[in-house]
Amino acid sequence: MAESIAIWQEDPGEPGTSGRTTRASMRQRLDSGSLALTVTPEPSADDAEVRAWEDLRYWTAVHTMERSRAMWLAAMGRPAGLAWLPGASLNVELGAGTELNAYYDREGLQFHVASVAEMRTGNIVRIATGESPDIVAHELGHAILDVIQPDLWDANFTETAAFHEAFGDISAILTAVELNEVADELATLASSSVFVSTRMSRIGEQMGWGLRQTRPDLPDPNCLRDAVSSYFYVRPETLPTSAPSSMLSSEPHNFARVFTAAFMRVLDEMMKVDVGPGGKRTRASVRRVARTAATLLVAAVRQAPVVDAYYHSVALSMIAAAQGRGRARYRKAIATASCAPGSSPWPRRPKPISASRRRGRPAGAEAAGVWPPRRRRSARRSSPTG
């Protein structure tokens, strides 16, 4: 048996393009320790060509989840007793169905293998959503967020549902930065800003291509969603419930782009602070800032009251989290980025808490001027848009 295998770095890319690979061990295990994962099916085909594809899909998924899990565990401070909502180990099914889909449903992570007909030629292209590190890290992000703040799952607010999707995209971005190749590319960008469209910011190129064959208006032109975008926050209740990707709507995947873009601006401003005037980014500095941003985001999610204006709630909590030792220099950078034109997630304050509803409010609710949220029944976070 080979000791290592070529796996995808962040996405297989569109058909006809060559996704970038990296070498990885074929001995990695996920079924022990904190937040264990059980991945099925393991490669077993007798046919050499099919087995090669199974190996690629399986080991790409395994190593992506290991990078993502390790990054988020570090951001959470590796507390004792961590467990997934379904139990000690989370089941990951790489062949859950035949739709162009992937989702977390509080029972496990479900990845499908779809046969997609190319719009122009009718040629059939196989797309395995569990083969894309972007999609795998996004869906694992849902499960991680459910560990950090399970109340978001049933919160009856547009912004909490959208934040779940934004957190998934942020998970994909930060997981990609854990690869040396991606961190090096960000470090050597000609631009002084990292708020530019790169393969790190473009989430799910292959899945986006597949979706465009039947819904060309739904994904971005060259990926599922690009984390670098410019949308002014507006109240989600004033938006249409669906719209093409060139417009903003209250649909969670679409509206998530407001917060994801704000987070990308946060990364950009933090990297500028980290290297100082005239300084140069390095692999180490890029990764240091990304990991710090992940830690601050986790702290914010833990502290932010779950309210209707949840973007605002998280943004304030993230700024507050930056007051700690060694992070105070980032506080202004986060505030500046969060208020940047076209990306601000917090132009409005949550509704004030009423005197009759003060009992049982979340910690910090009075200071933030917010009140406990309503709840809704659990819903599977499933969509062909990821």
pTM: 0.90
Statement to judge: residues 127 and 164 lie in one domain: no
pLDDT beyond 80 at 266: yes
Strands 21-25 and 4-8: antiparallel
Burial track 30-43 (b if 16+ CB lie within 10 A, e otherwise): beeebbbbebeeeb
Q: Which of 81, 98, 133 is the last residue of a domain?
A: 133
pLDDT of residue 80: 86
Separation between Cα atoms, residue 59 and residue 70, nearest integer Å: 16
pLDDT beyond 60 at 285: yes
Statement to judge: residues 286 and 343 lie in one domain: yes
Taking a C-beta distance cutoff of 8 angstroms, is the pair 43, 54 a contact? yes
Virtual CA dihedral for 226, 213, 135, 142, nearest 10 degrees?
80
Statement to judge: residues 35 and 12 lie in one domain: yes
Overall domain count for the chain: 2
Structure tokens at 72: 């988020």
Q: Is residue 112 part of a domain?
A: yes
Separation between Cα atoms, residue 217 and residue 244, nearest integer Å: 5
Report the sign of the C-alpha dihedral through residues 154, 140, 380, 41, in that order: negative
Structure tokens at 8: 């995808």
What are the tens digits of pLDDT across the range 107-145? 999 999 999 999 999 999 999 999 999 999 999 999 999
Statement to judge: residues 301 and 215 lie in one domain: yes
Q: Is residue 222 part of a domain?
A: yes
Query: For the residues 67-88, what does the mean pLDDT come to?
Result: 94
Statement to judge: residues 169 and 101 lie in one domain: no
Q: Is residue 139 part of a domain?
A: no
Length of the chain: 386
Structure tokens at 344: 């601000």
Q: Is residue 385 part of a domain?
A: no
Q: Is residue 140 part of a domain?
A: no
Three-state SS at 264: helix
What are the tens digits of pLDDT across the range 84-99? 998 999 999 999 999 9
Statement to judge: residues 197 and 89 lie in one domain: no
- Containing structural domain, residue 237: 146-380
Statement to judge: residues 195 and 107 lie in one domain: no
DSSP β-bridge partners for residue 202: 226
Q: In the predicted model, what is the mean pLDDT of the chain?
A: 88
Query: For the residues 235-242, what does the mean pLDDT come to?
Result: 95
Taking a C-beta distance cutoff of 8 angstroms, is the pair 365, 371 a contact? yes
What are the tens digits of pLDDT across the range 307-336? 999 999 999 999 999 987 678 889 988 888
Taking a C-beta distance cutoff of 8 angstroms, is the pair 225, 254 a contact? no
What are the tens digits of pLDDT across the range 150-191? 999 999 999 999 999 999 999 999 999 999 999 999 999 988
* pLDDT, greater one: 377 or 303: 303
CA 101 to chain centre: 16
Statement to judge: residues 163 and 269 lie in one domain: yes
Q: Is residue 365 part of a domain?
A: yes
> What beta strand segments (E) does the chain contain?
4-8, 21-25, 36-40, 89-93, 102-104, 108-111, 113-117, 124-128, 202-203, 225-226, 381-383
Statement to judge: residues 305 and 177 lie in one domain: yes
Separation between Cα atoms, residue 183 and residue 126, nearest integer Å: 30
Statement to judge: residues 113 and 161 lie in one domain: no
Statement to judge: residues 129 and 156 lie in one domain: no
Q: Is residue 18 part of a domain?
A: yes
Statement to judge: residues 228 and 305 lie in one domain: yes
Q: Which of 133, 166, 200 is the last residue of a domain?
A: 133
Q: Which of 110, 133, 156 is the last residue of a domain?
A: 133
Q: Is residue 48 part of a domain?
A: yes
* Closest listed residue to residue 56, CA positions, set 172, 124, 136, 115: 136
